[in-house]
Amino acid sequence: MTDRRSVAVVLFDGFELLDVFGPVELLAAAPELFELRFLGPTRDLVRSSQGIAVTVTDAYSDAAPADIVLVPGGIGTRRLAEDPGFLDWLRTFGLSASLVTSVCTGSGLLAAAGLLDGRRATSNKLAFDWSASRSDRVDWQRQARWVEDGDRWTSSGVAAGMDMTAALIRHLHGDEVADRITTHVELEVQRDPARDPFALVHRSATAAPTAD
């Protein structure tokens, strides 16, 4: 019998809604395998960049260690990447987890916290240069739908987080479970992490102020 894994989703004001709830939809389809918790700066509501307010289950300061940590992107990453207190907390919290994952510019926060040092990683291609500027100790992959490097998983922009999460579920629990979940939500996932058409589309783009 596979142990149930705890998943801590790190929320902050200005997070990207689909970065969180795309992966959460897949993980929540197997409650016997994954226990979801939503962390915020305090116990107050946290607003996404779309203005949706989300209830948290734990404040950063009293969150118990998790098996899996998920860090989304969003415009709020720009502020947090310059916040030493948050980055210190994220580094400590991430180091206690078995798996650390990110969607979109969430990898910029992981990089700034030192959690991607010496690892391969990717990010939203439209905001790739911003994420890569957070650390020169990361082997940034400009063309990748998602990147797995040991216990670090990072995905490209927004919807790519669902492909990464499906791959992570497949990695942890096999084809049967992953196929059951993606069929349940009627999702046709990209299974090739190297297939990244948006890398070409955004190759010459620079990070815009409103990019995820």
In this prediction, residue 203 carries a pLDDT of 76
Looking at 60-64, 133-137, 201-205, which range is the least confident one? 201-205
User: What whole-number distance in Å separates Cα of residue 8 and Cα of residue 2?
Assistant: 19
Structure tokens at 32: 């016997």
From the list 9, 209, 1, the residue with the least C-alpha distance to 94 is: 9
User: What whole-number distance in Å separates Cα of residue 5 and Cα of residue 31?
Assistant: 10
What is the model's pTM? 0.94
5-10 and 152-155 beta bridge pairing: unpaired
C-alpha distances in angstroms, 172 versus 2, 86, 205?
A: 10, 29, 35
pLDDT digits (tens, 9 = 90+) for 60-84: 999 999 999 999 999 999 999 999 9
Task: Please identify which residue in the block is written with the tokens 């203005």.
Answer: 51
In this prediction, residue 211 carries a pLDDT of 52
Segment 15-43 mean pLDDT: 98
Structure tokens at 123: 């990010």
In this prediction, residue 133 carries a pLDDT of 97
Core vs surface per residue 144-157: b (16+ CB within 10 A) or e: bbbbbeeebbbbbb
CATH architecture assignment, domain 5-193: 3-Layer(aba) Sandwich (3.40)
User: What whole-number distance in Å separates Cα of residue 66 and Cα of residue 78?
Assistant: 25
pLDDT at 36 over 80: yes
pLDDT at 210 over 80: no
User: What pLDDT band is residue 207 in, cutting at 50, 70 and 90?
Assistant: very low
In this prediction, residue 72 carries a pLDDT of 98
pLDDT digits (tens, 9 = 90+) for 107-131: 999 999 999 999 999 999 999 999 9
User: What pLDDT band is residue 200 in, cutting at 50, 70 and 90?
Assistant: confident
